[in-house]
A and B are shown apart, each in its own frame.
Chain A
Amino acid sequence: GQQLNQSPQSMFIQEGEDVSMNCTSSSIFNTWLWYKQDPGEGPVLLIALYKAGELTSNGRLTAQFGITRKDSFLNISASIPSDVGIYFCARRKVNAGGTSYGKLTFGQGTILTVHP
C-alpha cells in the first residue's frame, strides 16, 4: 500500500516536444511533490500540491493532484535541453495522529533525455 508507481521510467524526446509523466498509488495522500534532479546534485522542488484536484503551474511545468488523491501528473511544455534530468514524484501520507513530520515516499523516477 505504500508503493508509488511512476511512469514512464525513461523518455527520449526532441527539443520542443511536450512531456507528460505520472505517479499512481493504491493509498490516499494529502501531499504530492515533484522534484527534478541533475547528476551529482540534490533534488530541486518543482511543484507542491496540497489539495485534491489542485492544478498548479510553474513556468512551462504544470502538475495536478488527482481528484481521487491517489495520483498526480507532471507536464512539461515545449521542452528544452536543460530539462534533461531525473524527475521524481513524492508523497506524504498523514499518519493516525494527524502529523507526518514530512516522511516522504518517492517514485522510482523518470529519466528525461532531450535531443536538440
Chain B
Amino acid sequence: DTEVTQTPKHLVMGMTNKKSLKCEQHMGHRAMYWYKQKAKKPPELMFVYSYEKLSINESVPSRFSPECPNSSLLNLHLHALQPEDSALYLCASSQPQGAQYFGPGTRLLVL
C-alpha cells in the first residue's frame, strides 16, 4: 500500500477563517511533508517532519501552522490567509532517505 490520503479535496475560505488540512499515511513512513504547488509549477517544500518532530521549515509565514499528532497523521492549520495562498497543497511521506509518496492534494481557494 503506497497511499497517502488528504482531506478535504477542495476548500474555499475567507481571509478571516480558520481551517485545517489533514493528511494520513499507513505505510510506516517516519518522515512527512507539506508542499505548496501553483499551476504548472513544481511543488515547493513548506515543512518536513521527521519522527514526529519538525525538522525543516522553509521560512513559511506563521499563518501556516503544521502539526504532527502521531506518526501517521499530519495537519496544516490555516489562519488569516491571503488570496495569493490559493494553491494545491500536497502532503507526502517517506522513510527519511527513501522516495516520497504524495497524496492527491487539497485545492485551496482563498477569497
Contacts and interface: CB of A to CB of B under 8 A. Distances in A.
B50 interface: yes
Given A43-B43, A107-B42, A101 B50 contact: yes
A48 B97 CA distance: 12
B48 A103 contact: yes
Contacts of B41: 108-109
Nearest to B102: A42
Interface residues of A, number: 25
Contact of B43 (A31, A102, A106, A111): A106
Given A102-B94, A103-B45, A104-B45, A45 B101 contact: yes
Residue of A40, A101, A104 with most chain B CB atoms under a 10 A cut-off: A101
Residue of A42, A43, A99, A107 with most chain B CB atoms under a 10 A cut-off: A42
B21 to A, nearest CB: 13
B105 A42 contact: yes
Nearest to B4: A42
A67 interface: no
Given A101-B55, A102-B31, A103-B48, A43 B102 contact: yes
Interface of A: 31, 33, 35, 40-45, 48, 86, 88, 90, 92, 99-104, 106-109, 111
Of all A-B residue pairs in the complex, the 4 with the closest CB atoms, nearest first, are: A106-B42, A42-B102, A48-B99, A42-B105
12 contacts: A31-B97, A40-B105, A42-B102, A42-B105, A45-B99, A90-B42, A92-B97, A99-B96, A103-B56, A106-B42, A106-B43, A109-B40
